[in-house]
Structure 1
């Protein structure tokens, strides 16, 4: 009877013995992250042509999202975290992209921004859907990956130990003296090469 009870408890996730695999999502999927509603538009190679004869073309791998800020305040576009255990501190959109595979060199980026009325911004306004770009620069002869997979975290509106007023915080679990984000979804996008890769 004890074995059965333990088995059922583990099955329901009560003993942390069974970790649920995150939902696998692909291009075009929409994910409710709590603070953000996110559509995974595409991943592509983007070429910025040299402005003159003394500079060179730049190539980027871009992740493209349609992001709606579902909160009541303006939040930052942000950047993917350098370390997984630091991710839980973020409430920015790109901060919720907690692991990107394959990993790019530090020199490659990431560079993150939203496109607004033809210009770039680092802010996501409440109730507004913005196109967000997260890009990595490729080296001169570096080939882009065939696909990119990333783990996405979510947020919940709750009180913090520092305050009685609720705030949006990343959903995370404590492990020892560290906090690790709970992975809401794992998204895989093919990288569109286009004619310019």
Structure 2
């Protein structure tokens, strides 16, 4: 997706995101934050959106969130203030293709329902690997395309509407597995129909 399409799409989604797509994706959000909590340290959430995951992070963590959409970040900042989430260090507007952090800054990087939205997913994976500490982990939750069956057919039918929907229905998993610094160590289907998948990758020490 093009940056201007992302901005327009998430400006439309921001007011209703929590009550619609936010509810559908809650299982993945809870799972990813549980894994992050079990590791500890400094966490970066890339594509923090309206901040739905922020209350689920353990207060002992040091959490930074970024998002391309200011409309989403406005709601995330309000959530942090309303719920007094003191472990959220900062929320910043940023392009995930060019993360404004030094190398090896974070123990865990979380990206939920992001990688099929960004214009250059390979570059985003490279940037997340760069700012991840050696031995650290990258946690992805996303929908990935199926190769066969009626759901695969449906995904292909929805593919031309990506800019309007705000995500790619037929995004191939291979596009996140090519970063040489990362090793896939866990893959788990999060729903009965396999709509969302959890991937845990480790950065080589």
Q: Judge same fold: TM > 0.5, yes or no.
A: no
Larger CA Rg, structure 1 vs 2: 1
Greater fraction of residues in helix: 2
TM-score by length of 2: 0.23
TM-score of the aligned structures, taking structure 1 as reference length? 0.24
